[in-house]
Amino acid sequence: MIIVHHLENSRSQRVLWMLEELGMPYEVRRYERDPATMLAPPELRRIHPLGKAPVIVDHDPSGAERIVAETGAIVEYLVAKADGRLGKPYADDAALRYRYFLHYAEGSLMPPLLVKLVLGRIPLLGKAAQKKLQPMIDVHLDFVERELNARPWFTGDTFTAADIMMSFPLEAAKDRGGLDIGRPATLAWLDKIHARPAYQAALAKGGPYRYA
């Protein structure tokens, strides 16, 4: 059975959702953030040197422990373990979109949202810097809105792991990044993923999650 080391209100919620969509058995080890710093607790360093979530622990065919970190790497690992389910579509254009959004979520969309969060904790100067950062975030949100106006899911007509990867940055954008009713296709997509039974099951197992 896969063990998921899950940090509250974090990227690791996507891993629980992915496992629910695939119907794979798993166990949740839940960690709470330090209330003062909002960082992960030091106990996570016992699992992985960086002390960050998500991390999963699985076993290879010989029974040896296998530790996988980073959401994108975990998602690709689970797709392979599930014989390609929720993975790359067959059509070339859809396959390219799948690969792109699988990496765009953390490589391009999430960094400015994270910077905005950090700046928001800096008195005075941080608030001013946030305003200068918002136009950069808006470029990404406008791009996402155009993509979701063109097709129901990020790769095309089929729900894939790319949609799971895109969930956390867009949930964060709704919470603190300026995603509002001016981008209805993106909000409709968020409503659609939140209504999925597997998403709701992951919430029940993972505990409180501020972005759903």
For the stretch 60-100, pLDDT in tens is 888 889 999 999 999 999 999 999 999 999 999 999 999 99
Q: What is the pLDDT of residues 166-198, one digit of tens each?
A: 999 999 999 989 999 999 999 999 999 999 999
Q: What is the pLDDT of residues 37-56, one digit of tens each?
A: 777 888 888 989 998 899 99
What is the band of 212 on the pLDDT scale with cuts at 50, 70, 90? confident
Rounded to an integer, the average pLDDT of 134-163 is: 97
Domain around 78: 2-86+198-206
* 191 plus 108 within the same structural domain: yes
Q: Residue 84 burial by CB count (10 A; 0-12/13-18/19+): exposed, middle or buried? A: exposed
Query: Is 30 a member of any domain?
Result: yes
CA atoms of 5 and 56, how far apart (whole Å)? 6
Average pLDDT, the chain: 93
- Does the pLDDT at position 124 exceed 70? no
Query: Is 162 a member of any domain?
Result: yes
* 148 plus 181 within the same structural domain: yes
- CA-nearest of 147, 158, 155 to 188 is 147
